[in-house]
Amino acid sequence: MTITLITGANKGIGFETARQLLELGHVVYIGARDVERGEKAAAALGARFVQLDVTDDASVSSALATIDAAEGRLDVLVHNAGILGEGAIDGPTALRVFDTNAVGIVRVTEAALPLLRRSSNPNVVTVSSSAGSFWAVNNPDRPEFHLPLALYSASKAAATMLTVQYAKAHPGIKFNALEPGTTATDMTAAFGIGRSPAESARTVVRLATLGADGPTGTFQDESGELRW
């Protein structure tokens, strides 16, 4: 039995990742900031719910303590929670975007490490973005070239780097980041672009189900490793 926690999983890619991992037999904990939405999503899927706001230390600690008490370990952690932070660029907005998209990864990872170390095959997957790739945003053939999302892009660059550094610091745990592909979610509705969350979730699931000899410290999309 594989114990999995997905942050920001009450909708979009996180929700579809939860659905697909449940179909593979995982015990899935849906982490969501909003209790009502989180409980509704968990009930719809047959998953379990933990209130988890990645910007709140107490919420993160409580969520991992709940999983610890119920399961005694964590096998898979998916960092999916994220915000765009579009619009005006100012200090408060920058702090909010980085707190969710980058600092949140640190909060949840640090709280989860003791549980992950008890797993026989621990996997950590970060839903990052090629919007944070120097190569992609400077390549006119890539969709990221045209996205005016400075704070989102910068925070996703940080998210990918955190993944690489955690992989180096904890060789017994696999840490991989991914570009899920342009996806039609609530977050991207204003752009009117993207494929279904279910399609993009497949890459998350592939990395979440890596075997013990799987790669670590990589940045991938559905076709394999990406330049960054």
Distance CA 81, CA 138 (A): 26
Active site residue 156: yes
- Helices within the chain (DSSP H only): 12-23, 35-45, 57-71, 91-98, 104-116, 134-137, 150-169, 197-208
Which one is catalytic: 128, 130, 133, 156?
A: 156
11 catalytically annotated:
no
Report the distance separating Cα 128 and Cα 179, nearest Å.
Answer: 6
Quickly tell me which residue has 């009450």 as its tokens: 10
Nearest in space to 220 (alpha carbons), one of 171, 168, 160, 170: 160
Instruction: Specify whether the CB–CB gap between 136 and 145 falls below 8 A.
Output: yes
**At 196, phi and psi to the nearest 5?**
-70, 145
Choice among 59, 129, 133, 200 that is catalytic: 129
Answer yes or no: are the C-beta atoms of 183 and 191 closer than 8 Å. Answer: no
Helix (H, G, I), strand (E, B) or coil at 219: strand
Distance (Å, whole) CA 226 – CA 35? 36
By annotation, the residues acting in catalysis are: 129, 156
